[in-house]
Chains A and B, each alone.
Chain A
Amino acid sequence: MTSRLYDSIEPNVIDGEMLQKAVEEQGPKEEAGQLAKREGINFKDVKELQLDFRNILKIDNLWQFVNLTKLQLDNNIIEKIEALESLVHLVWLDLSFNNIEVIEGLSTLVNLKDLSLFNNRISKIENLDALQQLQIFSIGNNNIGTLENLVYLRKFKELRTLNLAGNPVCDNEAYTMYIAAYLPDLVYLDFRMVEDSTKEIAFVKYQYAIEEMKQGEAVALAKQEAEKAKQKELDYHKAAYVEYLNGSFLFDSMYVEDPEASKLEYLPGVPELLETYKSKFVTICENLFEYGLKQHEKRKAEVALFYECLNEALEDNREQGNQIMADFEEKRLLALDAIQTASETEVLEARLQEYNDGITKLSETLMTMEMQLVDQLEEVIKDFERNISDLVSIFIENEQGLMAQCRDLENHHHEKLLEIAINTLEKIVKSELEEEIPDDVRMLFVDKDTIVNAVNASHDIHLLKIDNREDEIITKANSWASALIEKVHKSEITRNRNRVKEINQFIDHLHNELETMDIMEA
């Protein structure tokens, strides 16, 4: 590979001066150019930029060009792709004839369609996953050596043109066939059209490998989708605050952090007890789950209804406003015409006065309308707020009831367990115990206090878990309600402010217009 060395000239970094110059050179011409020059060009407005043959070593200072769609950085000595993250609208990027070794730093350029990395030192195609819209990819005259690396290009469903000529990989006999087989959607390869016949032959040749690969891809896709669906369901449950309650998850979690429970399990009769306890507990959990989902749907429906009505009201109001504006517009045109044609000062004065009155009246009408709307909406929002808090409190109440049942179960279980434990203790003391129990369990039965403490500790842990879950649900539900209400209020306030601002602005505009016209008269 050849690399150009610009020994005679200093390596450059993109700086403000260079950019300014380039923008001015490449900006509008002639009359428009004069205008632009006088005003100065905002980097935000530049769509295309050409920075070739400038001996640039490091890309920098491009963050201002947020709306850039075409960037040419070819024929420089760039070694690293960097500082392009903010140029998200880029469609065309030319980095050919540089000294780049690794493809990187392109993950934000999701709109890129044409990417040229021709004549660089790249040895592997990678880090391009985000470029799903890529259509033209030029990576000729590089160091790509393996055919397997090209399978990576299957990711790009839109890719139609590929240029690979001048890479070591092209010397491989199977190169053309391989590409034709693995990238069947490709139309042009190395500046030539890929014949259909070639594609067919290639397909036959690599049929098994490709089919296997496709199978693999399909399986992966299916897996991904299943995962997605699962995640979605979980999100849904979370939104209803009852995630993981449709099973023994809570019950299991109660016992995970309980070291004594496993020991106590060795006591006679405990496993059976545990079994019944678990099944009852899980039933309650499931009830809670079902109830939670139902309530969630109810809340959703309520919110949807509210927004529907709100939007309807706003739409009505807007239409009314539009009507008023349209009526005024007609009057305005007539009035302006009259003012302009008025010859005598007195008539002019009178007409001006009339028009000004009209403007004032319009402003008043619009403001009144807005005030009325605010009142109306306030009432509706209050209703909504009340209903939502009712819904949430009902939900919490019932949820607490179910949780109390859980707690009762736990208490009951605890009593039973304690009884068994004491019985066992007595038996051990009397050495009547038939079953063998491990030593660490036997350790618990040193005296009554120890065993009672152990059972109590286990019980406390369980209760804590249940309490935590309950609190979690309550806080989440409450915070949702308050956030929602706040959001509604906030959006109403911003809406109101915007409207008032709009009205004022429009009135100001009318006055301004009148003034400029008067100046023209004078």
Chain B
Amino acid sequence: MEGKEETEQKMLEILDEEEEEAEEEEELSSFNLSSEVHDLEDRLSQIQVHIPEFVYEFDWSSIDTSNLPESYRTNSPKEQLLLQVADNFWRQYAHLCPDREPLFLHPVNECNVEKFVSTTVRPTLLPYSELYDWDSCAHFVSDYLTMEPLPSPIAPPSYLYSPTTILRYQRGNCFDFSNLLCSLLIGAGYDAYCVNGYATREICMMDETREACPLSQRAEEVEAVKEKPKKYAVKPLRDLRSKFELQQEAKEVAKEQAAEEKKRKEEEEKTAEAEKPKPDPLYGLRVHAWVLVLSGKREVPESFYIDPFTGKNYDTKDDHFLGIESVWNHRNYWVNMQDCWNACKDLEFDLGDPVRWEFMLLGTDKPLLSLPEIEEEEEGEDEIEDLMKEEESKAFDMPASWVEPIRITPKEFEMRCPQGKKEILYRNAKLEKWAPYLNNNGLISRLTLYEDPDCKRLLEVKEWFKNREDMMERRELNKQTEVTTEYFAPGHVQGLKVHAYKTMEPETERTMEFYSETRVDGLQKRVETPTDMAEYFEGRSDFLWYRHAEFGKRAKKPPNNTQVNTESNARPILKITERFRRNPKKPADEDVAERIFLILKERILLTYHYKMNYITASKREFNKRSDVDTTGNKIIMTQDMCLSYQAGLTEKDEKLFHLYEMMLRLMEEEKLSRHQVWESEMEVLDILRIREEEVAANKLTVAIYDTERNEKSREQRELMERLMQEERQRQVEQDLDYLAPFLIQMGGVEKMTKWLALRLKEDCLNDFKHRLVDKANLIQARFEKETQELQKKQQWYQQNQLNMTLEDEDAYLSFCSEAMFRIRILENRLNRHKERAPQKYVALEEKLCKDPRLAEYIKFYA
């Protein structure tokens, strides 16, 4: 690790130097900067750091098997019988099919005991709802375990460890993976089987670098269905262009397209060629184990495979799977008797068909051969069925699994991956996963997309977060556009939903989206560039859906360049455009569709909504000019201050009075809009500030049910524990030995005599009496002191009563009442002490008499 840091430091230094160089160069000649940067990038990319791979070789032989239960280390009689049956089966099979590979029947377990594979499957349903469905279950297994290659890629291993051991060490080969996944799936009610077969290299080695990352795929858009023309639809206009010319043009276009297509295809082929894996010399021989889920149970419509390494499902006819040797579940074992010359494409999964699948144990709840005739002859079948039942009861059934129940603690479940971390490589992409709370910024996964297969040039980084206090769920950084996009869950201040930006500087390019339903102003989106700002609204009662403001440059920096943002300090607004949706309550030519305030030119442009079947919209244009006419009177309103066009209305002259009122109203609204634009700017600043604080704080939330992490509840619990401990300590103190000091004086219990005991008792009582009296004296002394002080004060008051300020008098009075209070308390205490002291004395005497160390000596005396 240290080495890595050093190299990083070096890199940084290099970077700095390079930058300096670049700056110098810039000073010398201001030629193309981007090429410089490019050059820098190139040079930097040549510098590569190779961290020496520290591979931790796990040694299975070193694992501790001593604590494993008895069933792991021995075989029960039934299991032994089963092994014999299996051997018998194997011999017959080997005789019948001499040219087939040996079967994977009874490998040794971690205690070197032979166990039949079916008994290693331990159906378990874990108490996590996430593990109830096959896909999340498969992903859990693939995340939880670390993959180990098989010792020999072309033969099944000679061992198969129990799922509990595998879970404990969190690693295993494909057989271990399949076994565990199969156990969980059967437990969840699926008709699942472990499969021993052959697969491609990519599957066997868990090499996903040729696969596209599932997270980066985008959903394809569905094309809209075209409606067929209706009976009365108008006929299209006649095309008056020359047919021949059109044909020629079409030909040209087709030619060009064909050429392009060809080029593209060639390129595609090229890249495909480059990406094609090298031919595998062991193709078709590589042994792999995976899981087969048959249709029927748990509403699975069609059978499919699950690759336990990746957790991905495949069709049973998928090209990656090249053949099946045998399948098994916790009940039985079947050998595939079908030819796999065409990979798995022609395989039938009717396990009840004895021609295609050779079962090992007869009639142990095997999936029935789906023969329709059986159902038809139900009545006549009764006898035969009875017969079959008898036969079944005679047949040997699979012994129960020798494996302990599978257990995963919630903490382990949450950590998920070994050490809570996992990294997967896909084509042009890298996916990293972490357990929640492992990173203190809440990062749980990161997907890095690259331009090239070697993962050198960054394209995009996507990060997913969980449990962040600022509700951020996802952050995407696009390296090409340098835009960072942050996505938030509902609940962020101001209802922020998405925030895309280049820098956090205000008044730069950014887009913010909001949860409009939670905002009072219904703001849905705000797009900013350095010179303008557009806002989109939704569901407002005033039907506003768009507001756009153009800003000019600040005339001057205000002299007192403080950070106080007042409206006067804001950038001047040149133009505000507001658009409204149709208000169904108003007639169309009174319902404003667009309103433009040209603030510099002092003009207001109104465009109304279209009337039914009209292609022109009514318009109005106001020129606000408060001029003075020739006679010096103020012109209030003239016809030419308002140009209007009203669609479909011939009578033109509207009363000036109305226009005047309208203009006044508009001017009010202009002020309002300007204010709102300013407020929006303020809000942006506010959000930016909050975001910066949040990013700096990196706080995570903890559910109140999470006892592990919730600080508050933990504090409370600790407090309770502490209190309990204190209580215990007090009890111990209460039992303090009151004889101890006296015993020490006398030199221990051993030398105890009757006389000594009496003296001891006497001493102890005397001492106690003394203390009681002392205490009484002490109270009395204090009492007297208080009364004296009070008297003194009273005297002083009587002397100076005449020339006294009100405040002094108040102070005196309050002093008196306090003193009286103290005196009362002391009096009470003294009285109580007097009352209690004799009782306490008697109690002590009694206790001393009963003390086991003195009792036997004093007993006679008393």
Contact = CB atoms under 8 A, between A and B. Distances in A.
Do these two chains interact? yes
A28 B234 contact: no
Contacts of A503: 616
A321 B615 contact: yes
B656 A39 contact: yes
Nearest to B233: A309
Interface stretch (B365-373, B636-644, B748-756, B818-826): B636-644
A379 B640 CA distance: 46
A376 B636 CA distance: 51
B648 A501 contact: yes
A35 B660 contact: yes
Interface in B620-676: 636-637, 640, 643, 645, 647-648, 650, 655-658, 660-661, 664
Interface string A484-516: 000000000001001101110110010001001
Interface string A338-374: 0000000000000000000000000000100000110
B577 to A, nearest CB: 13
Interface stretch (A8-16, A82-90, A212-220, A310-318): A310-318
Given A309-B230, A502-B647, A505-B650, A32 B660 contact: yes
Nearest to B229: A309
Interface in A14-29: 28
Nearest to B615: A321
A28 B657 contact: yes
Most chain B beta-carbon neighbours within 10 Å: one of A45, A495, A502: A502
B614 interface: yes
Given A372-B237, A513-B643, A495 B613 contact: yes
B610 interface: yes
Contact of A314 (B613, B637, B650, B664): B613
Contacts of B613: 314, 318, 495, 498-499
B233 A502 contact: no
Interface residues of A, number: 43
Contacts of B645: 505-506, 509
A305 interface: yes
A35 B637 contact: yes
A322 interface: yes
Interface of A: 28, 31-32, 34-36, 39, 41-42, 45, 305-306, 308-310, 312-314, 318, 321-322, 324-325, 366, 372-373, 376-377, 379-380, 383-384, 495, 498-499, 501-503, 505-506, 509, 513, 516
B231 interface: yes
Contacts of B235: 376, 379
Contacts of B647: 502, 505-506
Interface string B227-249: 00011111101000000000000
Contacts of B658: 45
A505 B650 CA distance: 8
Contacts of B237: 372, 376
Given A379-B235, A502-B616, A32 B648 contact: no
A376 B660 contact: no
Q: Which 6 A-B pairs have the closest CB atoms?
A: A321-B615, A309-B232, A376-B234, A509-B645, A313-B234, A36-B657
A32 B235 CA distance: 55
A39 B615 contact: no
Contacts of A509: 645
A376 B237 CA distance: 8
Contact of A516 (B230, B233, B640): B640
Interface string B114-141: 0000000000000000000000000000
30 contacts: A28-B661, A32-B660, A32-B664, A34-B636, A35-B637, A39-B656, A41-B657, A45-B658, A305-B230, A305-B231, A306-B232, A308-B232, A313-B233, A313-B234, A322-B610, A324-B615, A325-B615, A379-B235, A380-B232, A380-B233, A498-B613, A498-B648, A499-B613, A499-B615, A502-B614, A502-B647, A505-B647, A505-B648, A506-B645, A506-B647
A31 B232 contact: no
B148 to A, nearest CB: 66
A305 B230 CA distance: 8
Contacts of A383: 232
A35 B230 contact: no
Contacts of A321: 615
B655 A506 contact: no
B648 A309 contact: no
A509 B616 CA distance: 11
A181 B655 CA distance: 53
A506 B656 CA distance: 22
A32 B233 contact: no
Contacts of B614: 318, 498, 502
A330 to B, nearest CB: 13
Q: Which of B615, B650, B656, B661 has the most CB of A within 10 A?
A: B615
Nearest to A306: B232
Contacts of B615: 318, 321-322, 324-325, 366, 499, 502
B354 to A, nearest CB: 63
A305 B229 CA distance: 12
Nearest to B232: A309
Contact of B234 (A318, A325, A380): A380
Nearest to B653: A39
A32 B661 contact: yes
A368 to B, nearest CB: 10
Contact of B657 (A39, A376, A498, A513): A39
A39 B643 contact: no
Contacts of A498: 613-614, 648
Contact of B232 (A36, A310, A373, A502): A310
Contacts of A372: 237
Contacts of A41: 657
A28 B658 CA distance: 11
Contacts of B231: 305, 309
A376 to B, nearest CB: 4
A366 B616 CA distance: 11
Contacts of A379: 234-235
A83 to B, nearest CB: 27
Interface string B592-617: 00000000000000000010011111
A359 B231 CA distance: 37
Contacts of A32: 636, 657, 660-661, 664
Contacts of B230: 305, 308-309, 312
A35 B232 contact: no
A163 B233 CA distance: 62
Contacts of B664: 32
A324 B617 CA distance: 12
Contacts of A45: 655, 658
Contacts of A505: 645, 647-648, 650
B232 A325 contact: no
Nearest to B621: A513
A379 B236 CA distance: 12
A37 B651 CA distance: 21
A517 to B, nearest CB: 9
A312 B650 contact: no
Given A318-B614, A380-B234, 20 more contacts: A32-B657, A32-B661, A35-B637, A35-B656, A42-B655, A306-B232, A309-B232, A318-B613, A318-B615, A325-B615, A325-B616, A377-B234, A499-B615, A501-B650, A502-B616, A503-B616, A506-B616, A506-B647, A516-B640, A516-B643
Nearest to B610: A322
Contacts of A502: 614-616, 647-648
Contacts of A314: 613
Contacts of B650: 501, 505
A100 B572 CA distance: 63
A308 B234 CA distance: 11
A31 B616 contact: no
Contacts of B661: 28, 32
Contacts of B233: 309, 312-313, 380
A308 B229 CA distance: 12
B610 A309 contact: no
Nearest to A501: B648
